[in-house]
Chains A and B, each alone.
Chain A
Amino acid sequence: MTFNNAQIACHRFGLGARPDEIMLATQMGGQLFLQSQLAHYQVQPEPIASLPTSAELMAEAATIKLSLRQTTNKNAKQNINKTARKQAQAVYLQAIDIRHKLAISSQQSFNERLVYFWQNHFAVSAQKQSVRFLAASFENEAIRQNVMGRFADMLIASTQHPAMQLYLDNFRSIGPDSKLGKKQNKGLNENLAREILELHTLGVQGGYEQKDVIAFANMLTGWGVDYQTVRGFRFNKNAHQGQPAEFLGKNYSQKGMRQALAGLNHLAVHASTAKHIATKLAQHFAGTHNQQLTKSLVDELETSFNHTQGQLKPLYEILINHGACWQAAPLRFRTPYEWIIALLRAAGNVKIPANAMLNLLKNMGQQTYFVSSPAGWPDEDNYWNSPAAMIQKWQNSKRFSQIVNKNVTQYVQNILGENIDQHTLLAMQKAGKKNTQLTMLFLSEQLQFR
């Protein structure tokens, strides 16, 4: 089974073909089709712009915290907490509904894929109750603002975002020698410092030691959340360790918040970060089907990252122009989210109730923003390509065929254009009923891989 140029542009780079996209990509050529999406990147696409900002959400949370402080009655407190949890859940549900709708309707789905890539790189999980109401605004602010910009800006925005501060516990971390540390006998929490080094920047083999984790954790003390400022972030100097630190062989004697900022700026352009990011991007698009080609892609991405001090757009241009990403063989197995979205995109303006969508994703083990760890969803075929996943897809195919059930021929044309694999076509011929035909199509190699 092989993909043609337009299919690769729509499915491997994008989130799946919308009606007419295969035709458009064929006419323009895959590369140009993708370039033009990059050129039309919108920071806040229409439905996203209507969602509440972190500042608004934090202000609401501040009101709740205030009323909790003013209440002494235990029952009343419980009621406030219950209402707050309900509100957070409602905010979460509204945001993922809009995210899914955008995924299904976007005409720049390559850009959406890039947003997802970075969101997963800087993963925050709504599994943690205190983070749930901010999970979407993290993506819409820290990530979307910076996808076409500099890696350093995204790193800083992510680190300062209240969702990240809350998720990886840094808001609790207190310099042992700070005012607060001495008074309350409290101390460091290494979590955020370690994950920045391991996951966000240098990578686990990136050449740091335990003492660097501690030094960086000390530098990051005082960084925390504030429910009343515009960004929800604040620097609390009373919690800041405030001592010169030796971090990755360099001295950091900056005062206050500038110390960790200098550290982040250094990490953002570090050679190990370049390698880490280049490797992850290459894996996301090219996988390991042809190791030599992937390696050449990694090298090119890494060189560009180093030369431009972490400019991100040139990396996407390399992806668009490198042969590793245009191999005709299927290179990557779709995650459940990618598979669901691709099926729905091809159906045109399909309506799927928010709850149904949520349950589908839950059943298939990839509920939006519910990543199971700070490393994000594994970007590995073996993780997702399992017998249990096959059964789940099969089960859900019946639902999808009911949603999509219009004109099967038109649907095939929308999603694949003229190039449908012979085995799939044969199975569809034998299937007879429309629903069974669609089940065959949904479970075909051509739709399970990209």
Chain B
Amino acid sequence: MKNSKTPISRRQILKALSASGAALVGTGLLHSKLALSAQLKMAKTKSDNILIWIILRGAWDGLNVVVPYGDPYYYQHRPTLGIEANELLKIDGLFGFNPALKQMHQMYKDRELSFAHAIASPYRSRSHFDGQKILENGTQKPNEPSGWLNRLIGIDKHHKAIAIDRVLPLILQGDAMTDSWYPNRLDEQQFETELLQEMLANNPSLSKSFAQAIKIENMTSQMGADKNQAKNIKALTKQAARFLKSDDENSPNIVALELSGWDTHAGQGTLNGRLANNLKRLETAIISLKQNLGQKWQKTVIIGCSEFGRTVKQNGTGGTDHGTGSALLLAGGAINGGQIITDWPSLKPSSLFEGRDLQPTMDVRSVFKTILIEHLEITQSDAEQIFPQSAAAKPLDNIIS
């Protein structure tokens, strides 16, 4: 952004604008068409293995998602917010699924869904915003500006990622090229495209955004995306699956989605209420992804997780406040499902983190690194580079099939 300015008089502007002519347009088009075809030749082959990242912004209450009903302290902490044992979709003597997750419970039985429990990022305070930053940048510092999926793509060019989002989430921000897409009604206007490409070439961030925007627009129109798509989860996940199934060499094998609304300070509910509603939305997303991915489901890993959990005790307003340890969802045909992966710390008051939160006994980066190594074929040393200073968070056995 260091170009010089030359003051131009109003008269010059007038003259320049009225003198716009066909000859000039012609050279511009020719020039950018050549540039475009050169770009297409640089396309690379992509990985077959799919990763879908669903960030559950707002901190979900892991204790009421996968409920430790067998822990003798659970109902003491949650006299009215605890979910009755006979309502739960039981797994074993300790855990049961929230009754809103009927289809996901079946997937668990079919061994294509697992949860990790009592898990957290390295973040140990209770700000949503810093917590999300650390979850997405994969470091211990909220101000690190690049996301861990972006670093992954920087290291291994077989992977390409897209965010189904109006903006670019931190997990995809950074030096490597990533895309974002959201439904819109843009008509194809090749002429404007080429003019804009040329005009914006001077500004790195704008030209990068524009190039990505065009690529994605072309992809969606080839695949016949419904251009009036509403922002509803079915449509968004269906489109995500289309991107992932595309044979286009530029299409992504990694998708970042988000579901927010988990910050249940009040009105959390048990069988009904905010948490149950949100869980149903999440289930809709998972089922829709499975249906729309078809054969590719077998090569898919879905991660669903939050920045942290919520207090073990219910608060005074029918909800829970910001906590620490929580649950993490894994789904997909490529996982070794049907497991609750946990070293359960107990809900005994003396075992709680700072006397109030579920004590984390596992680091989310252990799960992420395992997926990078076993599913996305990243070497362990590259995984350590993607998650700096995380050596203590060792990869896990048996979570990927």
Q: A residues near B, CB below 8 A?
A: 1-2, 4, 169, 172-174, 176, 181, 186-191, 194, 198, 204, 210, 328-330, 333, 363-365, 372-373, 375, 381-392, 394-395, 408-409, 412-413, 418-432, 436-437, 439-440, 443-445, 448
**Which among B17, B128, B202 is the interface contact of A1 at CB below 8 angstroms?**
B202
Chain A residues whose C-beta falls within 8 Å of the C-beta of B128 in the assembled complex: 373, 375
Q: How far is the CA of A429 from the CA of B8 in the complex (A)?
A: 14
Q: A382-B145, A385-B206, A386-B168 are in contact. List 20 more A-B contacts (CB 8 A).
A: A1-B5, A2-B5, A173-B316, A181-B316, A189-B265, A189-B316, A364-B166, A383-B168, A384-B167, A386-B167, A387-B181, A388-B165, A388-B182, A418-B7, A419-B5, A422-B3, A430-B24, A432-B20, A432-B25, A448-B206
**For window 117-160 of chain B, which residues contact chain A by CB distance below 8 Å?**
125-130, 142, 145
Chain B residues whose C-beta falls within 8 Å of the C-beta of A330 in the assembled complex: 1
B263 to chain A, nearest CB (A): 8
B256 part of interface (Cβ distance < 8 Å): no
A444 to chain B, nearest CB (A): 6
Contact A443-B196, Cβ < 8 Å, known A186-B316, A187-B316, A210-B126 = yes
Q: How far is the CA of A53 from the CA of B184 in the complex (A)?
A: 38
Selected interface stretch from B209-217, B237-245, B288-296, B366-374? B209-217
Q: Which interface class (under 10, 10 to 19, 20 to 34, 35 or more) fits B?
A: 35 or more
**Which among B17, B127, B167, B321 is the interface contact of A389 at CB below 8 angstroms?**
B167
**For window 1-48 of chain B, which residues contact chain A by CB distance below 8 Å?**
1-10, 13-14, 16-17, 19-20, 24-25, 28
Closest Cβ neighbor of A328 among chain B residues: B5
Structural contact, B196 and A440, CB atoms closer than 8 A: yes
B2 to chain A, nearest CB (A): 8
B84 part of interface (Cβ distance < 8 Å): no
B174 to chain A, nearest CB (A): 9
Structural contact, B209 and A385, CB atoms closer than 8 A: yes
Main secondary structure of the interface of A (DSSP, over half): helix
Contact A387-B195, Cβ < 8 Å, known A172-B266, A186-B316, A189-B316 = no
Structural contact, A429 and B24, CB atoms closer than 8 A: yes
Structural contact, B184 and A198, CB atoms closer than 8 A: no
Structural contact, B166 and A431, CB atoms closer than 8 A: no
Chain A residues whose C-beta falls within 8 Å of the C-beta of B356 in the assembled complex: 210
B226 part of interface (Cβ distance < 8 Å): no
Contact A428-B17, Cβ < 8 Å, known A390-B209, A395-B184, A443-B196 = yes
Structural contact, A427 and B196, CB atoms closer than 8 A: yes
Structural contact, A172 and B316, CB atoms closer than 8 A: yes
Structural contact, A194 and B167, CB atoms closer than 8 A: no
B392 part of interface (Cβ distance < 8 Å): no
Contact A430-B14, Cβ < 8 Å, known A198-B127, A382-B173 = no
Q: How far is the CA of A29 from the CA of B168 in the complex (A)?
A: 38
Chain A residues whose C-beta falls within 8 Å of the C-beta of B186 in the assembled complex: 391, 394-395
* The 10 residue pairs across chains A and B that have the minimum distance between CB atoms: A187-B316, A427-B199, A387-B212, A387-B213, A386-B168, A365-B166, A388-B182, A172-B317, A429-B20, A388-B180
Closest Cβ neighbor of B6 among chain A residues: A422
Structural contact, A419 and B130, CB atoms closer than 8 A: no
Contact A372-B24, Cβ < 8 Å, known A189-B266, A387-B210 = no
Q: How far is the CA of A363 from the CA of B182 in the complex (A)?
A: 10
Closest Cβ neighbor of A365 among chain B residues: B166
Chain B residues whose C-beta falls within 8 Å of the C-beta of A429 in the assembled complex: 16-17, 19-20, 24
Closest Cβ neighbor of A428 among chain B residues: B17
B179 part of interface (Cβ distance < 8 Å): yes
**For window 186-222 of chain B, which residues contact chain A by CB distance below 8 Å?**
186, 191-192, 195-196, 198-203, 205-206, 209-210, 212-213, 216-217
B401 part of interface (Cβ distance < 8 Å): no
Structural contact, A436 and B195, CB atoms closer than 8 A: yes
Chain B residues whose C-beta falls within 8 Å of the C-beta of A194 in the assembled complex: 126, 321-322
Chain A residues whose C-beta falls within 8 Å of the C-beta of B168 in the assembled complex: 382-383, 385-388
Chain A residues whose C-beta falls within 8 Å of the C-beta of B6 in the assembled complex: 422
Chain B residues whose C-beta falls within 8 Å of the C-beta of A210 in the assembled complex: 126, 354, 356
Q: How far is the CA of A413 from the CA of B191 in the complex (A)?
A: 25
B100 to chain A, nearest CB (A): 22
